[in-house]
Amino acid sequence: MRNGPLARRDMLKGSLAAGGLLGLQACASAPAARLASAAGSRLSKPRLVPMRITPDQLIDVKCCIRPLRAAGPNLATEMVGDTLVVHNYGHGGSGWSLSWGSAEIAVGKALSVLPSEIAVIGCGIVGLTAAVVAQRAGLKVTIYARDMLPRTRSFRASGSFTPDARVALLEPAGPNFPALWEQMTRLSWKTFRTYLGVTGNPVEFSDSYQVSDKPIERRTYPRDPAITDSYATKGLPLQSAEFAHLSSRIRDIVPQAVPLSPEENPFPTPYATRTSQMHFNFASYGHLLMSEFFERGGAFVMRDFHTPAEVATLKEKVVIHSSGYAARDLWKDRTIIPVRGQTGWLVPQPEANYGVRYNNVSLLSKSDGVVVMNNNPDLGDMLGVGNSMELPVRADIEAGLQIMAPLFAPQPPARPA
């Protein structure tokens, strides 16, 4: 095996050919590069293609609201006139992730009265998935909605498997919620796995790095005793400790982050972890779901509802209600809290198929673009809480790109060991 300066020159040449920038391995800081030249390290350090993250690569900035419902997603039923309404809304930052499990529960409730046809209100990821699950159970389904999936808030998300992201507040959700959440999450995970390897990669895994200049510690959410108010007194959460953090319940199925040694860290930072993250490629996954819906005979009616009473005028007497954040007005559910978030989208870079997080900014390479999120300042779960402003702010994304720039900047060549 060749090693030392010759091997580094080879890597540099390879990365210049692939991306026009210095390769991350060649970019490693001097001590890291010295370690990289040690025998065997070429096998353990992945050869990542650097991402192109200059502002000219930014092709879109999208902004949207997470429909956080204090008690967690509403899956209750109610009668409106002679119509059975099964609610399926309020999934916070977890709507894509929980969609299949939530749909199974909602459709199960709809089936309890043995309908042959049902209506679904809403064609975001939650409504569309419920419609497909109902069809797979043999029902005739009509979706009534203002917009189809590509024009919904769902399409302005980032699209990773994040089932407990701002999904509920611990106290209002109560003691039974964690088990319900786990049931939805496991059902969803199982279904997403059936899409792995499908043409067009609707669902896939990629390596996800967290890199840092400081040692990386597992995040905890201690209650700040100085904050005495809470959702109970103010109608809004006031600290991250109020949110339900449930991911430890599914540690047996979801890959966990492992620390990387300097020899394994492809980035020029002293600390790094790596995990495998499932994500959804909106264009191909959305297309697949819409195609299945229409191929199974589904009908779509563009329609705007203003009151629950209007829902009861539909010919279908069983309705799954999935209007997302709009349920706050349509169903007057004031327990839904807006949580603003925005994403930047860089030109797709399939050759750089990984994700990386550094100083609260993240990049995730998907087939429909590299998603950029800037979560600075670090407010944890409180970022965007109570903010329903849906206009994108490009400057925030550009600031995030600047924070990430050192990860991809050319480094001085390492001296021979």
If binding is defined by CB under 6 A, does position 208 make contact with ligand FAD?
no
103 vs 129: CA distance, rounded Å: 6
CA angle centred on 177, ends 235 and 124, rounded to 5°: 75
If binding is defined by CB under 6 A, does position 159 make contact with ligand FAD?
yes
| Contact (Cβ atoms closer than 8 angstroms) between residue 188 and residue 203 | no
CB of 88 to ligand FAD, least distance (A): 8
Work out which of 224, 229, 304, 351 binds ligand FAD, going by CB under 6 A.
304
If binding is defined by CB under 6 A, does position 365 make contact with ligand FAD?
no
Nearer to ligand FAD by C-beta: 21 or 145?
Answer: 145
Work out which of 25, 37, 74, 97 binds ligand FAD, going by CB under 6 A.
97
Closest-CA residue to 124 (of 162, 168, 84, 157):
157
If binding is defined by CB under 6 A, does position 278 make contact with ligand FAD?
no
If binding is defined by CB under 6 A, does position 231 make contact with ligand FAD?
no
Phi, psi angle pair for 138, to nearest 5°: 100, 5
CB of 306 to ligand FAD, least distance (A): 7
Phi, psi angle pair for 20, to nearest 5°: 75, 5
Stretch that binds ligand FAD, among 11-19, 121-129, 206-214, 236-244 (CB under 6 A): 121-129
Closest-CA residue to 50 (of 264, 259, 354, 325):
354
If binding is defined by CB under 6 A, does position 124 make contact with ligand FAD?
yes
355 vs 208: CA distance, rounded Å: 4
Q: Hey, what amino acid is at 196? A: L
Work out which of 110, 133, 157, 414 binds ligand FAD, going by CB under 6 A.
157
If binding is defined by CB under 6 A, does position 341 make contact with ligand FAD?
yes
Q: Which helix (H) or strand (E) holds 299?
A: strand 299-302
Phi, psi angle pair for 240, to nearest 5°: -60, -30
Closest-CA residue to 174 (of 87, 67, 71, 91):
71
Stretch that binds ligand FAD, among 36-44, 181-189, 337-345, 403-411 (CB under 6 A): 337-345
Work out which of 127, 172, 344, 400 binds ligand FAD, going by CB under 6 A.
127
Instruction: Give me the residues that bind ligand FAD (CB under 6 A), please.
Output: 64-67, 89, 91-97, 121-127, 145-147, 152-154, 157-160, 162, 303-305, 322-326, 330, 341-343
